[in-house]
Structure 1
Amino acid sequence: MEYLSSKKSVGVWNSISNTKKSLGNLGIEIHDLFGINIKSGNNALFWYDHWIGDNSLKSKYPNLFELESQKRCRVADRVGSRNHKWKWKVRPATRGLESEVNDLNRDVSNVQLKSGMDQWRCNLSSDGIFSVATVRQLVDKLHTVCSVAPAITWNKFIPIKVICLMWRAAQLRIPTATALERRGIAVSSTLCCSCIGSPECADHVLINCPFAHKIRSYIWSWCGLTNVQDSIKTISDLIQFASNWGENIKKRQRFIVICYGMLCNLWRFRNKRLFQMEGISVHRGLECIKVMTFYWIKHRGDKKICSWEDWAISSFYDL
């Protein structure tokens, strides 16, 4: 892999090489993810691969690596039954590297080659089997944007694209003005296009903006909730609150639908104001949320939902 990444390649190998570079930018060395169990030594590179110890011999003995005449030699080319078969450009002794040669000989002295193919293993899993999911988990562990991200509820009434939007919003990854500016993208203004009084971040647009605050107040009243407004300051707070609300499972599932629909519509309202110059009143915004969530529930599995007239009065009219 290290050898290939230094060469110009196309197709699959180019993608693999780019993956190595991308993981390197995240502080993850792809060589550290894999090891190899040596048998015949014909399938492992002596200097490049991690076949003995935690690092490659190239990294451990860089001076000797420079003196190696065949840098892509295999383990079987250098490890013998009695004497190791070195091929140096110049004798290491002339460079004062006798001690390093002794250390290298000591490292490989206990290696016994035998018949069979060398076997690669993934160091991330206990069974040694590689999967993209294990690498994804490592990346998320090392580079989590939100240190305490809430669990996103997968609800059959909520479209997948909305669930994905909620996940991104909880991770503060939706393209607000401040997020775009952090990525080096020029924006005309970082202020909220609704209140023009605070920087436009994800939590402000969907939670703390006066417009969002008023919408949420009406939604709580519609759902029969009181004394919860001031306890919610972030998107994560709202998602966690919805996931734990109430003791009736059916009511909780419906309340999650309403909360996700509210956040989805608040993001849509923001985009209409910003890109279409279309203002949305609180009353109209409330109606849009009621209509969207009603059709989600009615047409995505629950045919027995109450009539629109009853739904407009109370979200739990039939429960």
Structure 2
Amino acid sequence: MWIDPWLIAVPLKDRFPMLFNLEKDKRCLEWTRTPNAVVELQEWNDLIELLDDVIIKDTPDKWVWMGGNNKEFSVKALKEFLISSVDFSDRFVMQWPKWVPRKCCMFMWRVVMDQIPTLSALQTRNTFSEDVSCSMCGDDIESAYHLLCVSQVASEVWFHISRWCKVNPFIFISVKDLVEAHEFYNVGSVAKEALHGIMHVATWCICVGIVLHGIICSIEVKPKEIFQDIKSLSFLWFRNRSKYRNLCWKSWCKFEF
């Protein structure tokens, strides 16, 4: 009786602690003495008022789900209960371009979530304690934003892409701008769909060029070659993985649809 929250939202022992202290058997009403103090009598009167509306039935006890309107427990009810107090008004929803391979989309998602192993990210996770300056230029901290957005190699690649796609030069404030940049340009629907995917392909190719060739293999990184890889790969995927299968290489190079 006292331990389970069957009458109100909390156990009766928490609502009426003075009466609970008088109990000989904590599972039922059996006093060590009759309540006589003012506080005890007040708790007793409050308990009587609560019990007046209770109808005891001769049926087996059962568990009741109190996390929602439905008294029955389900996984759906549990999920709704867990997210009921969470504010999603400022959540970031990432839209994946359908024609880009999953590996590029997953990589972009990891970039936005700061889940790629840059020196800055490793230091944040306490797995790297040495100098976190960029291994390529040493001008700034080696973060995803620096490597993929504002480093010398990345900046030159993004400049070539903006010239090719006939849009103003890209200005990235954070890595999230990589997945939203296509929304800020007044271009046609097909061009916007293409640009959306090109941003993902470019991010993938820049990382491969800088990390694999420049940092790991110590090979000179040429932004122009990375740009050509982006153009050819994106054409291959856009033509074969979208509905624009009649697109020719000449139109793609001119970014005309």
TM-score, normalised to structure 2's length? 0.73
Q: Tell me the residue number matched to 1:164.
A: 106
Read off the aligned partner of 1:249 and give its amino acid letter: S
Read off the aligned partner of 2:146 and give its amino acid letter: H
1:288-307 equivalences in 2 (<5 Å): 288-301=229-242, 302-307=244-249
Question: Which structure has more RCO (C-alpha within 8 Å, separation ≥ 6)?
Answer: 2
RMSD: 4.2
Relative to structure 1, the CA distance from residue 111 to residue 200 in structure 2 (aligned partners, 3 Å threshold; closer, same or farther) is farther
Relative to structure 1, the CA distance from residue 265 to residue 130 in structure 2 (aligned partners, 3 Å threshold; closer, same or farther) is same
1:178 aligns with 2:178: no
Question: SS in structure 1 opposite 2:65?
Answer: strand
1:91-240 equivalences in 2 (<5 Å): 98=40, 102=44, 105=47, 109=51, 110-114=53-57, 115=59, 117-123=62-68, 130-131=75-76, 134=80, 137=83, 141=87, 149=92, 151-226=93-168, 228-230=169-171, 232-240=172-180
Deviation of the 1:220 alpha carbon? 0.5
Read off the aligned partner of 1:274 and give its amino acid letter: I
Q: Give 1 or 2 for the bigger CA radius of gyration.
A: 2
Identity %: 20
Q: Tell me the residue number matched to 2:224.
A: 283
Instruction: Indicate conservation of the 8 Å contact 1:152/1:166, yes or no.
Output: no
Pairs aligned (count): 250
Structure 1 spans left out of the alignment, 5+ residues: 1-44, 72-77, 79-84
Read off the aligned partner of 2:218 and give its amino acid letter: M
Deviation of the 1:58 alpha carbon? 6.9
Read off the aligned partner of 2:135 and give its amino acid letter: C
Deviation of the 1:182 alpha carbon? 1.4
Match of 1:264 among 189, 204, 217: 204
Deviation of the 1:185 alpha carbon? 1.3
TM-score, normalised to structure 1's length? 0.61
Q: Tell me the residue number matched to 1:274.
A: 215
Deviation of the 1:61 alpha carbon? 7.1
Deviation of the 1:236 alpha carbon? 1.8
Deviations 1:61-81 (A, max 9, x none): 78988998998xxxxxx5xxx
Q: Tell me the residue number matched to 1:250.
A: 190
How many angstroms apart in 2 are the aligned matches of 1:139 and 1:173?
27
How many angstroms apart in 1 are the aligned matches of 2:228 and 2:123?
33
Relative to structure 1, the CA distance from residue 240 to residue 46 in structure 2 (aligned partners, 3 Å threshold; closer, same or farther) is farther
